[in-house]
Amino acid sequence: MLSDVTTPQDLDDRFRETLAALPAAERRRDPADPVTDDAPLTGAQVLDLFDAQVTSRQLDLAGRWLRSFGEGFYTIGSAGHEGNAAVAAALRPTDPALLHYRSGAFYCLRAAQVAADPTLVTDSQPSADPDQDDDRVRAVGAERSADSGSTVDGASTRAPEPTADPQVSESERDGTEPSGAANGFAAYAEAARDVLRGMVASSLEPIAGGRHKVFGRADLAIVPTTSTIASHLPRAVGMGLAVERLRRLDSAGRRTGAGVRVGSGAGATHAPWPPDAIVVCSFGDASVNHASATAAFNTAGWYDHAGLRIPVLFVCEDNGLGISVRSPEGWVEATLRAKPGIRYFSADGVDPVRTYEVAAEAAAWVRRNRRPAVLHLRTVRLMGHAGADSESAYRSPAELAEDLDRDPVAATARLLVDAGVATGEELLARYDETGWQVRRLAEEVLGEPKLASAADVVSALAPRRPVRVARAVADAAARASGPGAGARAEAFGGKPPELAGPMTLAQSINAALADGMLDHPQMALFGEDVAAKGGVYGVTKGLRDRFGAARVFDTLLDETSVLGLGLGAGLAGMLPVPEIQYLAYLHNAEDQLRGEAATMRFFSQGAFRNPMVVRVAGLAYQEGFGGHFHNDNSVAVLRDVPGLVVAVPARPDDAAPMLRTCLASAAVDGSVCVFLEPIALYHTRDLYTDGDGEWLAGYPEPGGWVAGHVPIGRARVYRVGSADDLTIITFGNGVRMSLRAAAVLAEEGVGTRVVDLRWLAPLPVADIIRESSATGRVLVVDETRRSGGVGEGVIAALVDAGYVGAARRVAGVDSFVPLGPAARHVLVSAEAITDGARTLLAR
């Protein structure tokens, strides 16, 4: 069956030959008994493992078959890694899992666990609509029922009971051919269909909807991972930290069954997993060398060393190869053993009983101690890296034969036959029946619809519901002025910010963060130097004292880990607000935004989300303090990320409402927002002349929040003079410089409209077109660079809209920002804006 699509090693034929050669045991063993005298698994449980492994193997073969005639689009398989089924059996189905792309058997086994006991199911995410949360969250008891099998420190030792192929009957034990092979597949059919739909890009695929082939499903607590080289590991650490934090909540939260409800009112959310859950994430041996993996291990160990608990089980599936590059002998073990603060376990993935024993021990240790551990699972790789991979180019025939001898599915079959649970012929019948069933499902999904339009593709990317966001802001205002007024007054020491007089940009952000912490009980603020120091520029000053170290805390100095903590915390039901100290430092970790944060809804059709507001101090123009690390004007990478919201507040009276909008959008729609704060404007007080105080602004009382609400993608327009002659479109530091230039032009009789974009993604295109058309002359002032800068997007929007007036750009030079006075040669100045406007007006 399907032997024509195996690799040259002909894995299918080899498996058949192995089973045919296995001699029957002298006596049959009752499947209800341990598979060997001292084994923790019964024969029936090992049969379940075998069925999961076989389903995964047949899916790999089907993937090659589909690809052979152009109907399959994914051939990276799990062959050789099927031992991870035993890892799944050692965990609870409610332990969130982030799986790499060789996890077919794990996925099948977990799907069968939930199919066998649907009461284990929990929604993995709170509803985007808080009104629906109570309907969506199903209480999941952390304790197993009396008939659910024995436990090891709370970890189930029971693989799923066969749903339609129960234990072998007396006649079968007497040697009669088993009659249940056809029914044994029933427990795995749904999982098989899921995987096949991913292979053919079916829009009916349950997690990504045809956008990518991933292992993920909300009801299985399997979070899709969008990368294969360890970029999901920092998220796993963040999930572990959040799970433990939510578990330890006292009066601030209430446990509901297996979940934790955080806070109360509209700002509340649900922790999606049981309070004693652990996080499991798997990856390949080559990935231990990746910077993201190093960051995750280091962060987990760092927090453990500091006394904070992170219940994460890392699973390294080591087949010795990264595509064609070998992991040096002993390197992976030496690397994993050397990670401080992380307990090391190891097992041979070819041995299902030993793999289960060690995985159960590791999971129990993590669950009991709430500390990180790594399971080093030795595997083999069969059928190459993917369909196009010719292993003979870099592996010898002897190596390939050695891996074939260590086929984990054959090893499980050998165990079952040697124990007398089944004969080779019986197992081959199960294998063949599963193969035919998988082939039948493959043929069925071939005819399913594909994504039919660009609208279909992007529908799950980043929903925008501005009415609901505005309503969330209004509700927050009502709470702040009503039932929360007392707590608010106490938090601000009896003097709310609206009574503090005119504020700077930094002070306004600080006050808005405090109001956000009051309204969102699940909100946490963290990053480098944000707690005791209050931030390098004092923006978070005093917030730790007001809200405690559990909600405002310092992290280690690693941007990948800062964002990873935020990603995991958001996925766990929190509202994280991480800070990146300088924009230049974001580039060290930008894939956590691009490849992990922004893609979560896209690859899960909204079943999972990671709401987050990332505060970044950035842009240039710091006087007396500089160099490109502290004056970075490169934002192109942010604007290039689909669905990402990028906000740039220039004025204090914009900063607070924009931050409230970002927090509300994250809570309501699961948005990922970058709140880019212009460093040079943090403490600016004056606009035109020293001492005029015109860059300061008062902080609105809650009653004014609704009227001052700033929707995502709406600009602000300043009118100077008649405002009929020229439109200047700008943002950030450019707003202040453009207003100064407009004042000079007004003395020359020129009326100017200064448009503050405020949002770099999505751009306020409607406002751009309207204000540009009003004058017919547009000067785009872009403090970023000419190449890849914001101005390119503005000009493109004008062209796309059919704008026929005059247009010109004043932009930064394509250069890094140098130190000291040299910076003036590459950055935009008010004088350059004035000169650019005069040139444009002279046309």
Tell me, rounded to whole angstroms, the distance of Cα 142 from its chain centroid: 25
**Stretch among 81-90, 382-391, 818-827 having the lowest mean pLDDT:** 382-391
Q: For residue 176, is pLDDT > 80?
A: no
Under the banding of pLDDT at 50, 70 and 90, the label for residue 121 is low
Q: For residue 758, is pLDDT > 90?
A: yes
* Segment 557-576 mean pLDDT: 94
HSE-CB for 746 with a 13 A CA cutoff: 14
Q: For residue 122, is pLDDT > 70?
A: no
Under the banding of pLDDT at 50, 70 and 90, the label for residue 169 is very low
Helix (H) or strand (E) holding 354: helix 352-369
- The pLDDT assigned to 228 comes to 64
Under the banding of pLDDT at 50, 70 and 90, the label for residue 143 is very low
Look-up of token digits 């165990």: 415
Asked if 617 and 536 count as a contact pair (C-beta separation under 8 A), the reply is: yes
Helix axes 352-369, 43-68, angle to 10 degrees: 100
d(CA 697, CA 714): 20
Under the banding of pLDDT at 50, 70 and 90, the label for residue 227 is low
d(CA 269, CA 254): 11
Q: For residue 148, is pLDDT > 70?
A: no
* Residue 141 or residue 551, greater confidence: 551
- The pLDDT assigned to 518 comes to 97
Residues with Cβ within 8 Å of 754's Cβ and at least 6 positions away in sequence, in order, are 717, 718, 719, 720, 728, 730, 735, 738, 739, 742
d(CA 134, CA 675): 31
Under the banding of pLDDT at 50, 70 and 90, the label for residue 182 is very low
**Stretch among 96-100, 227-231, 620-624, 831-835 having the lowest mean pLDDT:** 227-231
Per-residue DSSP letter, 334 = H
Q: For residue 130, is pLDDT > 60?
A: no
**Stretch among 132-146, 279-293, 481-495 having the lowest mean pLDDT:** 132-146
Q: For residue 91, is pLDDT > 80?
A: yes
pLDDT tens column, 324-333 = 888 899 999 9
Asked if 308 and 241 count as a contact pair (C-beta separation under 8 A), the reply is: yes
* Residue 391 or residue 508, greater confidence: 508
Closest CA to 422 of 29, 827, 729, 830: 29
pLDDT tens column, 760-800 = 999 999 999 999 999 999 999 999 999 999 999 999 999 99
d(CA 398, CA 786): 57
Asked if 497 and 523 count as a contact pair (C-beta separation under 8 A), the reply is: no
Q: For residue 434, is pLDDT > 50?
A: yes
**520: annotated active-site residue:** no
Asked if 520 and 667 count as a contact pair (C-beta separation under 8 A), the reply is: yes
d(CA 301, CA 772): 54
* Segment 29-58 mean pLDDT: 95
- The pLDDT assigned to 229 comes to 80
Tokens of 101: 């792309």
Region for residue 191 given its phi and psi (left: phi exceeds 0; alpha: psi -120 to 50; beta: otherwise): alpha
- The pLDDT assigned to 387 comes to 75
Helix (H) or strand (E) holding 743: helix 733-747
Under the banding of pLDDT at 50, 70 and 90, the label for residue 154 is very low
Please name the amino acid found at residue 3. S
pTM (2 decimals)?
0.89
- The pLDDT assigned to 249 comes to 67
SS3 321: strand
- The pLDDT assigned to 65 comes to 87
Please name the amino acid found at residue 578. P
Active-site hit among 630, 683, 709, 825: 630
Q: Which string of b and e fits 257-275 if b means at least 16 CB within 10 Å?
A: ebbbbbbeebbbbbbbbbb
d(CA 146, CA 689): 77
Q: For residue 255, is pLDDT > 50?
A: no
Closest CA to 277 of 554, 654, 573: 573
Helix axes 291-305, 233-247, angle to 10 degrees: 30
d(CA 411, CA 352): 8
Q: For residue 321, is pLDDT > 70?
A: yes
* Segment 406-428 mean pLDDT: 96
Per-residue DSSP letter, 596 = I
- The pLDDT assigned to 145 comes to 30
Residues with Cβ within 8 Å of 318's Cβ and at least 6 positions away in sequence, in order, are 284, 285, 327, 332, 376, 377, 378, 379
Asked if 74 and 210 count as a contact pair (C-beta separation under 8 A), the reply is: no
Asked if 230 and 292 count as a contact pair (C-beta separation under 8 A), the reply is: yes
Q: Is the Cα torsion angle 219, 222, 226, 231 positive or negative in sign?
A: positive
Q: What is the dihedral of CA 682, 684, 685, 686, to 10 degrees?
A: -150
- The pLDDT assigned to 6 comes to 39
Q: Is the Cα torsion angle 76, 77, 83, 89 positive or negative in sign?
A: positive
Tokens of 2: 């399907």
Tokens of 517: 């912490």
Under the banding of pLDDT at 50, 70 and 90, the label for residue 523 is very high
∠ CA 417-418-419 to the nearest 5 degrees?
A: 90
Percent of the chain's residues with pLDDT above 70: 88
The three state secondary structure string of 112-136 is HHHHHCHHHCCCCCCCCCHHHHHHH
pLDDT tens column, 259-307 = 433 333 334 445 578 889 999 999 999 999 999 999 999 999 999 999 9
* Residue 165 or residue 389, greater confidence: 389
d(CA 534, CA 540): 4
SS3 615: strand
pLDDT tens column, 688-729 = 999 999 999 999 999 999 999 999 999 999 999 999 999 999
DSSP letters of 527-595? ETT-SSS--TTSTTTTHHHHH-TTTEEE--S-HHHHHHHHHHHHHTT-EEEEEES-HHHHTTSHHIIII
- The pLDDT assigned to 81 comes to 94
* Segment 649-672 mean pLDDT: 97
Q: For residue 2, is pLDDT > 60?
A: no
Q: How far apart are the first and last CA of the chain?
A: 76
647 forms beta bridges with: 675, 759
* Segment 449-478 mean pLDDT: 94
- The pLDDT assigned to 388 comes to 75
Per-residue DSSP letter, 815 = S
Please name the amino acid found at residue 829. S
Look-up of token digits 């041979």: 348
Over its C-alpha atoms, the chain yields an Rg (Å, rounded) of 30
DSSP letters of 674-740? EEEEEGGGTT---SSSTT--TT-BPPPPGGGTTTT---TT--EEEEETT--SEEEEE-THHHHHHHH
**Average pLDDT across the chain, whole number:** 87
Per-residue DSSP letter, 626 = -
